[in-house]
Amino acid sequence: MDQRYIRSISLDKPAQENDYFFKLGAVRALMESDIELSDTVTYFVGENGTGKSTLLEAVAVNFGFNPEGGSLNFSFSTYDSHSGLHSLIKLTKGCLRPKDGFFLRAESFYNVSTYIEKLDADEYANALGAAAVKDSYGGISLHEQSHGESFFSLIMNRFGGKGLYILDEPEAALSPMRQMSLLTRINELVKNDSQFMIATHSPILLAYPNAVIYELDENGMKRTEYERTQTYLTMKSFMDRPKKMIDILFDEDNNGGTDDKNRY
């Protein structure tokens, strides 16, 4: 039996040239072929502006998640900023439906935390035993923790397994040690029949074994191996020769080294 909750992503309707996302690498890739997903972890990596977050948002909204994040039951809106790409794509689903799920995005996590607080304070929720709302997120208000602590608390306490988890740059709130802890948590959840889609810039998070990795650029998307990603190569170059890299970056005659990638 296919264990994937989402098997693939395809473009169901043509993107129009006047759509702002038309030129994104992610959309160009969909115009060429379907995107096949792993039954464990699928990563999307690439420079800012290539469409990683836009693609994940479209998948999440198409599947039924709130555009700003949260579980399938969350229904709130503080600012309607999501693209229309979700209405153009088609998700080919597997035989099983997830029993849990969460769309986690760093940029709107504050809004999600506020909504959780509202659920906890809501009179109707209290009548149903709203203590369980906060308990499922660690028992402590997410607003009373640091950004990184609340982010990690949610992942550790709210993600229950047998779920679909879509994470948009989760490393933004996490230290390197916490990123390694997140890898451990991802592995625990994968073993409990969970599927992940993750957009990341983190070479630590990207290291999950046997994951499917797609690297995006302005021209499209390609499937690649961990040690061939620009994310890994750039970080390795820096860590292997930090002083040399600093000299290159601070070389005013070389515009900070940004125009000569071969020097890396």
List domains and CATH numbers for the chain: 6-106+162-226 (3.40.50.300), 229-264 (no CATH)
- Give me the mean pLDDT over the 176-192 stretch: 95
Stretch 168-189: mean pLDDT, rounded?
A: 92
Q: What is the pLDDT of residue 184?
A: 96
Mean pLDDT of the region 157-170: 91
- Output the pTM of the full model: 0.81
Pair of tokens at residue 246 = 């600093």
Q: In terms of DSSP H, where are the helices of the chain?
A: 25-32, 52-63, 109-121, 123-127, 131-135, 147-158, 176-191, 230-240, 242-249
* Statement: residue 187 has pLDDT above 90: yes
The pLDDT, as a whole number, for residue 234 is 94
Q: Burial-class residue 28 by CB neighbours within 10 Å (0-12, 13-18, 19+).
A: buried
Q: Is the pLDDT of residue 193 over 70?
A: yes
Q: Which of 77-91, 115-129, 235-249 has the highest mean pLDDT?
A: 235-249
Can you name the residues that pair with 103 across neighbouring β-strands? 70, 166
pLDDT of residue 181: 93
- As a whole number, the mean pLDDT across the chain is 81
DSSP string, 218-242: TTEEEEE-GGGSHHHHHHHHHHHSH
The pLDDT tens digits of the residues spanning 196-228 come to: 999 999 999 999 999 999 999 988 999 999 999
**What local confidence, expressed as pLDDT, does residue 219 receive?**
86
**What does the pLDDT read at residue 15?**
74
Element (H, E) at 105: strand 100-105
